Structure 1
């Protein structure tokens, strides 16, 4: 059974795409982006974030595609947080409207996507909170209060916290401990956010 009718030919092509083992693919504003598997530092950060979000109140999903078809996008964030048991009972795509927070962990090849295009896509999808965890710069960037539409969408509130300091995730009622987040060694710094 289909998740919803496919109206854009690129979406139909993307959904039939066979991705090689060890890679993941995302559709971001009409562009298909393929990535190799993540670094161990990346996976450990995702695990440490996931373990701090109370499962009695929230579902934390990995490898979950998000339905942002108004943006011709089907991103697969590193972590998706939503009210426990919110959304459909089954299906590959989770509607953006039920998501409370999305988490992306930056890699050396994803800096521009995570800070740029995904920031705009998630804001356009009205996702209340977008957390960028950046092991290159040793910081977390929490974005809240989405506004606008299309490529002009953005978050109006940005809070940058260095690794080691807590990140208040007020929407979840959690203070995220970042003291165990590792940095990626030997990667050149960038100038984002």
Structure 2
């Protein structure tokens, strides 16, 4: 005879929201999976700081590691930077609705390559986030994705523009050109298999 565990399966979103994350780690809910990663390194933090400093505060809220809610998804990603019109978000709370976000930024690390270029690309497109900027210090490039389309795992961005570090990234939705000349890279790391 086979033993069956008939205890009710907890709702993953409720479980995630009550999860106690160890110090030095952060957790994200991505399509029903809880992903826990170590805190970022200095290269990552300096890139995020540089991007944030180039986006005018008077017009845009620039929020680091803000959890966002994606309608129709079992996902609560935590992008490295979230940009929305100043004052457009709620006054309090843990989750920011994806529909009010203009841009999300992810800085690629050795352990986040597939999530940032693959799963999160689909999740942010499904949430209709107008622009997604992937900054890759291993490849020395930025990839700006715009014009989201589709639903669920089939969602994607229609426009993809790649810019090498040292050149400017035109982010029309924000009315800014990001200077990438001071973005640090991660030397000595084997190039990943993504673009």
Does TM, scored on the shorter chain, surpass 0.5? yes
Determine the C-alpha separation between the residues in 1 that align with 2:112 and 2:31. Answer: 15
Q: 1:125 aligns with which of 124, 127, 134?
A: 127
- Which residue in 2 is equivalent to 1:3? none
Instruction: Check the 8 A contact 2:71/2:127 in 1, yes or no.
Output: no
Greater Rg by CA: 2
Q: Tell me, what secondary structure is at the counterpart of 1:130? A: strand
Gaps in structure 2 of 5+ consecutive residues: 1-9
Determine the C-alpha separation between the residues in 2 that align with 1:69 and 1:13. Answer: 18
Structure 1 stretches of 4+ with a deviation exceeding 4 A read: none
Q: Tell me, what secondary structure is at the counterpart of 1:121? A: helix
1:26 maps to 2:22: no
Q: 2:43 aligns with which of 30, 41, 44?
A: 41
Q: Tell me, what secondary structure is at the counterpart of 1:77? A: coil
Q: Tell me, what secondary structure is at the counterpart of 2:163? A: strand
Aligned residues: 186
The alignment yields a C-alpha RMSD, in angstroms, of 0.9
- Which residue in 2 is equivalent to 1:102? 104
- Cα drift, residue 69 of structure 1: 4.7
1:176 maps to 2:178: yes
Gaps in structure 1 of 5+ consecutive residues: 1-7
Determine the C-alpha separation between the residues in 1 that align with 2:12 and 2:71. Answer: 11
Q: Tell me, what secondary structure is at the counterpart of 1:71? A: coil
Determine the C-alpha separation between the residues in 2 that align with 1:186 and 1:26. Answer: 28
**TM-score using structure 2 length:** 0.94
Determine the C-alpha separation between the residues in 2 that align with 1:45 and 1:138. Answer: 12
Determine the C-alpha separation between the residues in 1 that align with 2:184 and 2:35. Answer: 26
Determine the C-alpha separation between the residues in 2 that align with 1:111 and 1:63. Answer: 17
- Which residue in 1 is equivalent to 2:6? none
- Which residue in 1 is equivalent to 2:169? 167
